[in-house]
Amino acid sequence: MAGVVGDWDAVSREIKRRMDEREMNQAALIEKSGISKAVVAELQNNTKRRTRSDHVLRALSEALGLHPEHLRHIAQDREPQPLGEPAIRSDADIAGRLDALDYRVAEIKQMLGVLTDAILGGTTFTTVDVRGTDDRQD
């Protein structure tokens, strides 16, 4: 099981921020995450700086209603991913990065569809092939 080393001050602040946002107490976080009271208290209050398992950070992230990799990314000073996006485990995780890119492209397509409908008001239009293919015969 891989361990995570990181900025536990930032993780502590993020856990407290999210608990306040969700009006969640420590007992509720323990119950939802399945993580022991001692470990939750250590992370919440940053009382013991040590390597943490992926499982602990993932369980706490999910219990807080965040992307499963959210607290890991905070610990590693990386931008957290949006909830629902496929996980990117590291900068070297090519498959994860491609999955996240596919997810974002699908989101952009959906947003463009909504914008197109709003702008055109249901009007049909003709598409144009802009790839530069030329069907002319010389």
79-105: pLDDT as tens digits: 887 777 666 666 677 877 787 788 788
What pLDDT does 62 receive? Answer: 92
- The C-alpha angle with vertex 72 and arms to 110 and 64, in degrees rounded to 5, equals 70
What pLDDT does 45 receive? Answer: 93
Distance (Å) of CA 6 to CA 27, 53, 58, 74, 129: 25, 11, 14, 8, 49
For the chain, percent of residues with pLDDT exceeding 70: 79
Range of the domain at 125: 85-129
pLDDT for 1 beyond 50: no
Instruction: Return the closest-CA partner of residue 81 out of 70, 95, 65.
Output: 70
The answer to whether residue 64 sits within a structural domain is yes
- Indicate if 48 and 98 belong to the same structural domain: no
Please state the domain count of the chain: 2
The answer to whether residue 11 sits within a structural domain is yes
pLDDT tens digits for range 71-81 = 998 998 888 87
Q: Can you tell me the mean pLDDT for 108-127?
A: 77
Exposure b/e, 56-90, CB count within 10 A at least 16 = b: bbbbbbbbbebbbbbbbbbbbeeebbeeebbebee
What pLDDT does 96 receive? Answer: 74
What pLDDT does 54 receive? Answer: 86
- Indicate if 68 and 118 belong to the same structural domain: no
pTM check: above 0.85: no
Number of Cβ within a 10 Å radius of residue 124: 5
Q: Answer whether 106's CB lies under 8 Å from 96's CB.
A: no
- Indicate if 13 and 71 belong to the same structural domain: yes
Question: Counting every residue, how long is the chain?
Answer: 138
Q: Answer whether 100's CB lies under 8 Å from 35's CB.
A: no
Average pLDDT in the chain: 82
What pLDDT does 136 receive? Answer: 47
pLDDT for 70 beyond 70: yes
The answer to whether residue 137 sits within a structural domain is no
What pLDDT does 89 receive? Answer: 66
- Indicate if 93 and 55 belong to the same structural domain: no
Q: E strands along 23-127, which residues?
A: 52-53
